[in-house]
Structure 1
Amino acid sequence: MKKILLPSIALACTLGSATAHADVNYQIKITNAAQHLAEVSIDFPAAKGNTLDVQMPIWRTGRYEVLNLGKNVRQFKATNSKGQPLTFAKTDKGTWQVKTKAGEAVKVSYEVYANALGERTQHIDDTHAYLDASGILMYAAPFRSQAITVKLDTPTNWVSRSGMDKGNCDHCFVAPNYDVLIDSPIETGEHEFHQFEVDGRSIELAIWGRGNYDGKKMAEDLKKIVIETKKTLGEFPFKKRYLFIVHATDGAGGATEHLNSTVIQKPRWTYFPRKEYLGFLKTAAHEFVHTWNVKAYRPKEMVPYEYQKENYTRLLWIAEGNTSYLEELVTLRAGIQTRDEFLDDLSKALLAYEHQPGRFQQSAAESSFDSWIDAGGERARNASVNIYSKGMLLGNAIDIEVRRQTNGAKGLEHVHQYLYAHHTVDKGGFGEADVRTALKSVTGNDWSDWWAMYVDGIGEIPFPELLKNVGLKYIIEAGKDDEQKEEWFTGLRTREAGDFPLVTEVERDSPAWKAGIVAGDTLIAANGLRLTNKDLNDRLWLMQQTPMKLSVFRRDELKELAFVPAKQVKGKAKVKALDDANDQQKALNSKWLGVEWPSKPAADKTKDAEKIAK
């Protein structure tokens, strides 16, 4: 018993000491959980000068968007160590300037409204509180590097968890500085909890909210992901613990990576069937990969984070897009998804890429820089690319090309291992030249021309050639039982608006584009016959007449447009094996994916997939 208790006592004493000598102390009191309200007080030590700027970040890490988080603050007050009020002025959307005296400690307090679950910045209700420091805890730049304590006052029976170290009470945490605090959200409330160990690290799972999930199964699958990611990227960046926070919600969805934890949100009834659950596990893999790619090493323009302004970089396609690709590899190699499922997702990505005219308008590097000013809306597909989807495909392309150049010995993971070894955050992160150096170190070849063509430029990624190297091809395959082998391609995307289809997007240079159809048009009829949203393409096909006379409402006026849809193969996008794939291609394929080229009949492969599903 003594052997078990003594280390715990020593740890408690150590953390108690850290608390006693901390320089910045935070207290969070949940005052009205049902109304999403809390009171925050912060004790800052004495500062130099006659003013102290106390700030709430305007964005949070992991989401490259200005969120104006100070909007949720009310009743801001400031006092000195004697409790005497200090004057202050709000000088911008995230800054409160307190008038003080040199050498005088400052205490600030304020009420915060926390009801932004989907933003993953802060959310309080009668069952839990999710507290990301960026949305609830202010800081003062002179003390950003100082040690921190956080103490929570919560409803009875709530349990508080975080990736931070525990302090000297059940609801206390300690951090070496504000940067660790802001990257270590706190989840407090009522949870289902699971824990397991991998290589001496405690991996924890806290689930908030009821839903159709199996927590025990979830923990088992997360363990596979943790083990496989370590095999892929190297030693764990965290020293003690990692916390998976899962929110089973009534609609909010998404996920955010943090230094030693992640939060994953998914509607409560979407953890089943397998397709939905697999999506959850891929998200979990994505966020866990981020523990290396972004948290351990990231673009140098984001080191350190600047919380009061945008952090522009041309490398988010690596930070986010490569992570999206690595999530696919990790789940495949861990046995979470099958080889066929991996290739099916690649097929969908290539199909979406084919119908992204913006790839000829904006490069991956430009998209990274412009993520802070993402245009979105009807023009996004025609005028831009996405750091996630384009970065994923570039990661795939780099992986295959590195495998080709090294006869299968190395891949994209080795490029990331190089960045992890040479360009961690404490070394200043990595720049564009550093990534090219990593590629050269791994392959022995110069990648400058490739980079200029596909990263800085808008060259078409040569997927037919790349896939051929690994014994595959991308096709649109008609179903065996389809009587109709072709269908119309219109270039239209619509949604239901009352009784008629409303145009939401028109693909550049598509038949709809050439006909003059624009987003916002309501489609009424083709050749005098009424159109409905559900059977739009089928009705157009049955007419078999071109050009068609398309009737649309635009600005409440009826217009008649000549519309000439194009024929295309009716079928499913597929990445499949070449009929004549040779041994060299098959071997390279196995090195690339980390799983053997299939040799079983299709029926046996189906049974394997069903086994994994169970």
Structure 2
Amino acid sequence: MKKKLLATLFMAGALTSHAALAEVQYQIKITNAAQHLAEVKVDFPAVTGKTLDVQMPIWRTGRYEVLNLGKNVRQFVATNGKGKQLSFAKTDKGTWQIKTQPGDTVKISYEIYANALGERTQHIDDTHAYLDASGVLMYAAPFRSQAISVKLDTPANWISRSGMDKGNCDHCFVAKNYDVLIDSPIETGEHEFHRFDVDGHEIELAIWGRGNYDGKKMAADLKKVVEEGRKLFGAFPFKRYLFIVHATDGVGGATEHINSTVIQKPRWGFAPRKEYLNFIRTAAHEFVHTWNVKAYRPKEMVPYEYQKENYTRLLWMAEGNTSYFEELLTMRAGLQTRDEMLEEFAKALFAYEHQPGRFYQSASESSFDAWIDAGGERARNASVNIYSKGQLLATAMDILIREQTKGAKGFEHVHQYLYQHHTVEKGGYSEADVRAALKYVTGKDWSDWWAKYVDGTAEIPFTDILNQVGLKYTIEGGKDDEQKEEWFTGWRTRDTGDHPVVIEVERDSPAWKSGVVAGDTLIAANGLRLTPKDINDKLWLSQQTPIKLTLFRRDELRELSLTPTRQVKGKAKLKTVENVSDTQKDLNSRWLGVAWPTPKVSPSSNTEKAKD
């Protein structure tokens, strides 16, 4: 009996040891690129139990939303190492439970349909394949920490690239575990390719699709972004980094990964300058994520839970702060001007001013609810966005830190502290850790400020905060800065069809108070027919208030009384305050990282000066 027990224990130990050393092997064969099809094979090491659950994640990193990633799987088959078929049952939308025997190796195969380019989970066509493991490659929890190898079988002349390390063939990659694999998408196909070096680190750029971009300029500008990122955080958390750019139609967006990013833009959306700046800002945003989210992130997201949501109250830091640093990085890299950066911030303030939801949901609540934030017509009235609110909070905190430390420190030093002390390997950071970092940087307790503006919905005092750096927020007219007025209703419309359809009504606006709701079709104002092209002209033409508004609601004709208000017509701007002091100028320069602008001198003034 004793010998039998020892033998059993020895066998169990041997199996465990073998499992610890063996790798999980993936093979992906593009079987019909035009029809978006591939065959996936996975070899798992020896199992120790009588069942093995293999799963597709229910969400992908970088997108806080539950996705039905298992829906694209068909023709699932499981066998043991000897080729004997194993029985299995699908137990939920993304789990296949296989019956096994201890000591068996397990092989699975399945067909994957890959046509979700906009979700950035997987896409295959006759020119390329974009493969994010979350939408392509199953895993088994017992082997999540095992080493990984991936081999692709692709059409001729395709080239495969990834942030992962290269394997022993042109289309082979290796990773230390599934967490690295799922955060290292593969781009294979026909690309324009560029490579450059920053501080001994290889940076690569692969562009798929035709468009109005200049690949050489793109690579040169991305190099500047990478250099500024290193200055901001002090060191790179990767050995090699890959920018994947999709120039395409119908989709847009971007996703960060630990050693790469994918950025999607309309193929004709890389010019003119404003469009190109949008691309560069996006690239800067995703690159900052290499630190903020990938190298360090909220502790509730360590490790990622691929079968359920990772709730945290700190997504406003993970995402919104990154939006803030994208602007600074792009400006400090010399790719956008100081005025362009301040213009973007003024636009963000204007949008925030017209978001009543800021009084109904805090930044921390919005972070927690990001998983269920469905948007829609009520979002602006009842919610705040983790990106915009986090960006504005970062701006306020940066300026306040500069003021408290006489310009010596800024919000970037808080993030540097988190990167140094609360990496993913160390378990991530908590809300208390962020407040401790703020105290470390400034020497002051931020608990009350946090309670009011992060956990609470108090209005951020931007008038006073911006004054610290010599700026004021204003709405101004055209080139002559003539202050003009316009009517304000508070609705947004979808301008398609014969008549405008209301898609959103701002809380407490004139339209809200008159009873206009989303879905109303606007027919006439004071008897004048309203069309999408002239809705504003007809409202202003009427001049008399209240306006008799005629509309359809649920196909029933109605009349409402609308009294628009007058508001300043123009553009949101940040301007220099009157009698700006040297102290304000200095703090502004330390905040933005660029010099306070020198007043332009006209040619005539230069001539007069020369005569003196």
TM-score range, shorter chain: over 0.9
Distance 1:541 1:293 in 2: 48
Shift of 1:401: 0.7
Structure 2 match to 1:162? 162
8 Å contact from structure 2 (residues 314, 367) kept in 1: yes
Q: Superposition pairs for residues 183-198 of structure 1, below 5 Å?
A: 183-198=183-198
Aligned positions of 1:373-522 closer than 5 A: 373-481=372-480, 485-522=484-521
- CA deviation profile, 1:322-369 (whole Å, cap 9, x unmatched): 000000000011101000000100110000000000000100000000
**Contact 2:24 2:148 (C-alpha < 8 Å) held by counterparts:** yes
Tell me how far apart the structure 2 counterparts of residues 122 and 208 of structure 1 sit (CA, whole Å).
Answer: 14
Identify if the C-alpha distance between structure 1 residues 426 and 531 changes in structure 2 by more than 3 Å, giving closer, same or farther.
same
Which has the higher mean CA deviation after the structures are superposed, 463-472 or 494-503?
A: 494-503
Q: Is the 8 A contact 1:152 1:172 kept in 2?
A: yes
Cα displacement string for residues 13-42 of structure 1 (whole angstroms, at most 9, x for unaligned residues): xxxxxxxx7511000000000000000000
Conserved? CA contact 2:158–2:189, under 8 Å: yes
Give the aligned partner of residue 219 of structure 1.
219
1:539: how far off?
2.2
Gaps (5+ residues) in structure 2?
1-20, 604-612
CA-to-aligned-CA distance 1:136-161 (integer Å, 9 cap, x gap): 00000000000010000000010000
- Per the alignment, in what secondary structure is the counterpart of residue 378 of structure 2? helix
CA distance in 2, matches of 1:413, 1:48: 48
SS of the aligned residue for 2:38 comes to strand
C-alpha separation between the residues in 2 aligned to 1:325 and 1:482? 29
1:49 matched to 2:37? The reply is: no
Letter paired with 2:351: A
What residue identity is the alignment partner of 2:59?
W
Per the TM alignment, residue 274 of structure 1 is displaced from its structure 2 partner at its CA by 0.5
Matched with 1:8 is: none
Tell me how far 1:477 sits from its aligned partner.
1.0
* Separation in 1, partners of 2:201, 2:401: 32
Equivalent in the alignment of 1:564? 563
C-alpha contact (below 8 Å) 1:121/1:131 kept by paired residues: yes
CA contact (8 A) 2:487 2:566 kept: yes
Partner SS, residue 459 of structure 1:
coil
Query: Does 2:12 match 1:28?
Result: no
Matched residue, 2:124: 124
State the percentage of identical aligned residues.
79
Aligned to 2:407, what secondary structure does the other structure show? coil
Hey, what does 2:87 align to over in structure 1? Answer: 87
SS in 2 for 1:53: strand
The answer to whether the 8 A contact 1:515-1:562 is kept is: yes
Name the counterpart of 1:612. Answer: none
- Matched with 1:144 is 144
> Are 2:483 and 2:568, in contact at CA under 8 Å, matched by a contact in 1?
no
Relative to 1, partners in 2 of residues 1:356 and 1:270: Cα closer, same or farther, differing over 3 Å? same
Q: Deviations over 1:473-531 (max 9, x none)?
A: 00111225587811001101001231111000000000000000000001111111111
3-state DSSP class of the match of 2:247? strand
Question: Which amino acid counterpart does residue 559 of structure 1 have in structure 2?
Answer: R
> AA paired with 1:569?
V
Determine the C-alpha separation between the residues in 2 that align with 1:191 and 1:352: 38
In the superposition, relative to structure 1, how do residues 493 and 196 fare at CA in structure 2: closer, same or farther (>3 Å)? same
Specify whether residues 583 and 483 from structure 1 end up closer, same or farther in structure 2 by C-alpha distance, changes over 3 A only. Answer: closer
Q: TM-score, normalised by structure 1?
A: 0.94
What is the CA-CA distance between 1:231 and the residue it aligns to?
0.4
Provide the C-alpha distance between the structure 2 equivalents of 1:108 and 1:460, rounded to a whole number of angstroms: 55
Letter in structure 1 aligned against 2:170: D
Q: How does 1:328-339 map to 2 (within 5 A)?
A: 328-339=327-338
Tell me, yes or no, if the aligned pair for 1:22 and 1:148 is still in contact at 8 Å. Answer: no
**1:584-605 C-alpha deviation (Å, 9 max, x unpaired):** 000000000000111132889x
User: In 1, Cα distance between the equivalents of 2:221 and 2:200?
Assistant: 18
Letter in 1 for 2:234: G
Confirm whether residue 257 of structure 1 aligns to residue 235 of structure 2: no
Task: State the 1:544 CA deviation.
Answer: 1.4
Query: Is the partner of 2:371 in helix, strand or coil?
Result: helix
Task: Answer whether contact 1:27 1:150 (CA < 8 A) is retained.
Answer: yes
Q: Mean alpha-carbon deviation: is it higher for 173-182 or for 525-534?
A: 525-534
Structure 2: which amino acid aligns with 1:62?
G
Cross-structure match for 2:340: 341
- Give per-residue Cα distances to partners, 1:234-275, cap 9 Å, x unaligned: 20011x210000000122110000010000000101101000
> 2:532 & 2:601 partners in 1: Cα distance?
37
Identify the residue that residue 175 of structure 1 maps to in structure 2.
Answer: 175
CA RMSD after TM alignment: 1.2
Please say if residues 414 and 441 of structure 2, whose CA atoms lie closer than 8 Å, have aligned partners that are also in contact.
yes
Task: Confirm or deny: 8 A CA contact 1:22 1:149 kept in the other structure.
Answer: no
CA drift of 1:397 comes to 0.7
Indicate the residue corresponding to 1:97 in structure 2.
97
Deviation at 1:375, TM superposition (A): 2.9
Q: Does the CA contact (< 8 Å) of 2:74 and 2:110 recur in 1?
A: yes
> What is the correspondence of 1:311-330 to structure 2 with a 5 Å cutoff?
311-330=310-329
SS at match of 1:285: helix
Given the two structures, how large is their TM-score scaled by the length of structure 2? 0.94
Measure, in 2, the Cα distance between the counterparts of 1:218 and 1:480. Answer: 32
Q: Distance in 1 between matches of 2:540 and 2:318?
A: 43
The aligned counterpart of 1:5 is none
Distance in 1 of aligned mates of 2:437 and 2:127: 47
Partner residue in 2 for 1:310: 309
Q: Deviations over 1:68-93 (max 9, x none)?
A: 10000000000000100000001011
What is the deviation of 1:49? 1.0
| 1:282 alignment partner, SS class | helix
* CA drift at 1:534: 2.3
* C-alpha spacing 1:265/1:603, structure 2 compared with 1 (3 Å): farther
Distance in 2, Cα, partners of 1:313 & 1:360: 21
> Which of 259-268 and 483-492 deviates more?
483-492
Secondary structure, aligned partner of 1:500: coil
Which residue matches 2:358? 359
